[in-house]
Amino acid sequence: MKMLRFFITLVTIFILPNISIAAEGKGIRFWNLTAATITKLQLSAAGKNDWGADQCENDKDRSVDHDERLKITGIEPGVYDVKFRDNLHRECVIKNIDIKTDGIFSIEEKKLVGFCHRF
Protein backbone atom coordinates (compact mmCIF):
# COMPACT_ATOMS: atom_id res chain seq x y z
CA MET A 1 0.00 0.00 0.00
CA LYS A 2 2.87 2.37 0.79
CA MET A 3 4.35 1.70 -2.64
CA LEU A 4 1.04 2.58 -4.34
CA ARG A 5 0.82 5.84 -2.40
CA PHE A 6 4.41 6.63 -3.31
CA PHE A 7 3.71 5.98 -7.00
CA ILE A 8 0.59 8.19 -6.97
CA THR A 9 2.57 10.96 -5.30
CA LEU A 10 5.28 10.75 -7.97
CA VAL A 11 2.71 10.90 -10.77
CA THR A 12 1.03 13.90 -9.16
CA ILE A 13 4.28 15.78 -8.67
CA PHE A 14 6.09 15.06 -11.92
CA ILE A 15 3.69 14.01 -14.66
CA LEU A 16 0.43 15.94 -14.19
CA PRO A 17 2.00 19.43 -14.25
CA ASN A 18 3.80 18.57 -17.52
CA ILE A 19 0.55 17.45 -19.13
CA SER A 20 -1.13 20.80 -18.42
CA ILE A 21 1.89 22.73 -19.74
CA ALA A 22 1.90 20.70 -22.98
CA ALA A 23 -1.83 21.25 -23.43
CA GLU A 24 -1.38 25.02 -23.36
CA GLY A 25 0.60 25.07 -26.61
CA LYS A 26 2.89 27.82 -27.82
CA GLY A 27 0.21 30.28 -28.85
CA ILE A 28 -0.07 32.18 -32.11
CA ARG A 29 3.24 33.27 -33.63
CA PHE A 30 4.34 35.40 -36.59
CA TRP A 31 7.38 34.39 -38.65
CA ASN A 32 9.08 37.27 -40.50
CA LEU A 33 10.19 36.04 -43.91
CA THR A 34 10.55 39.52 -45.38
CA ALA A 35 13.96 40.99 -46.22
CA ALA A 36 13.63 43.67 -43.53
CA THR A 37 13.25 44.15 -39.80
CA ILE A 38 9.62 44.82 -38.92
CA THR A 39 9.26 47.71 -36.49
CA LYS A 40 5.45 47.82 -36.14
CA LEU A 41 2.93 45.00 -36.65
CA GLN A 42 -0.82 45.31 -36.21
CA LEU A 43 -3.79 43.07 -36.94
CA SER A 44 -7.42 43.81 -37.76
CA ALA A 45 -10.31 41.44 -38.36
CA ALA A 46 -10.40 41.04 -42.15
CA GLY A 47 -11.87 44.07 -43.90
CA LYS A 48 -12.54 46.07 -40.70
CA ASN A 49 -9.55 48.51 -40.63
CA ASP A 50 -9.75 48.42 -36.83
CA TRP A 51 -6.05 47.98 -36.08
CA GLY A 52 -5.06 46.50 -32.74
CA ALA A 53 -2.04 47.00 -30.55
CA ASP A 54 1.49 46.98 -31.94
CA GLN A 55 2.55 43.35 -31.58
CA CYS A 56 6.24 44.35 -31.79
CA GLU A 57 5.82 45.47 -28.18
CA ASN A 58 5.83 41.73 -27.31
CA ASP A 59 9.49 41.43 -28.37
CA LYS A 60 12.41 42.33 -26.12
CA ASP A 61 13.88 44.73 -28.71
CA ARG A 62 10.44 45.84 -30.01
CA SER A 63 11.16 44.63 -33.56
CA VAL A 64 11.08 41.41 -35.57
CA ASP A 65 14.23 40.63 -37.53
CA HIS A 66 14.30 38.56 -40.72
CA ASP A 67 13.63 34.88 -39.86
CA GLU A 68 12.60 35.74 -36.30
CA ARG A 69 9.34 34.58 -34.72
CA LEU A 70 7.12 36.81 -32.60
CA LYS A 71 4.47 35.75 -30.09
CA ILE A 72 1.11 37.33 -30.97
CA THR A 73 -1.20 38.27 -28.10
CA GLY A 74 -4.73 39.56 -27.66
CA ILE A 75 -6.34 37.87 -30.68
CA GLU A 76 -8.38 34.76 -31.31
CA PRO A 77 -7.89 32.44 -34.29
CA GLY A 78 -9.58 33.74 -37.44
CA VAL A 79 -8.99 35.68 -40.64
CA TYR A 80 -7.06 38.94 -40.27
CA ASP A 81 -5.51 41.74 -42.24
CA VAL A 82 -1.93 42.46 -41.19
CA LYS A 83 -0.33 45.90 -41.40
CA PHE A 84 3.35 46.45 -40.73
CA ARG A 85 6.16 48.98 -41.05
CA ASP A 86 9.77 48.02 -41.54
CA ASN A 87 13.25 49.51 -41.43
CA LEU A 88 13.19 49.96 -45.23
CA HIS A 89 10.51 52.66 -44.72
CA ARG A 90 7.71 50.54 -46.15
CA GLU A 91 4.19 50.23 -44.84
CA CYS A 92 2.42 47.09 -46.08
CA VAL A 93 -1.08 45.69 -45.67
CA ILE A 94 -1.60 42.01 -46.38
CA LYS A 95 -5.22 40.93 -46.41
CA ASN A 96 -7.02 37.76 -45.38
CA ILE A 97 -4.34 35.90 -43.43
CA ASP A 98 -5.76 32.74 -41.84
CA ILE A 99 -4.53 32.51 -38.25
CA LYS A 100 -4.97 29.21 -36.43
CA THR A 101 -4.78 28.20 -32.76
CA ASP A 102 -1.14 27.67 -31.76
CA GLY A 103 -0.20 28.25 -35.40
CA ILE A 104 2.55 30.18 -37.11
CA PHE A 105 1.66 32.61 -39.89
CA SER A 106 4.30 34.22 -42.05
CA ILE A 107 4.73 36.98 -44.60
CA GLU A 108 7.25 36.38 -47.38
CA GLU A 109 9.15 39.10 -49.24
CA LYS A 110 8.15 37.79 -52.68
CA LYS A 111 4.45 38.21 -51.79
CA LEU A 112 4.74 41.91 -50.90
CA VAL A 113 4.74 43.24 -54.49
CA GLY A 114 1.88 45.72 -54.84
CA PHE A 115 0.97 45.71 -51.12
CA CYS A 116 3.49 48.25 -49.80
CA HIS A 117 4.18 51.97 -50.07
CA ARG A 118 6.95 54.21 -48.70
CA PHE A 119 6.38 56.31 -45.61
Average pLDDT over residues 3-7: 58
Any idea of the CA torsion for 59, 60, 63, 65, to the nearest 10 degrees? -90
Q: What's the pLDDT tens digit per position in 57-96? A: 999 999 999 999 999 999 999 999 999 999 999 999 999 9
The full set of domains in the chain, from first to last, is 27-118 (2.60.40)
Per-residue pLDDT band at 20 (split at 50, 70, 90): very low
Q: What is the pLDDT of residue 24?
A: 72
Q: What is the pLDDT of residue 47?
A: 98
- Predicted TM-score of the model (pTM): 0.79
- Cα 95 from Cα 115, distance rounded (Å): 9
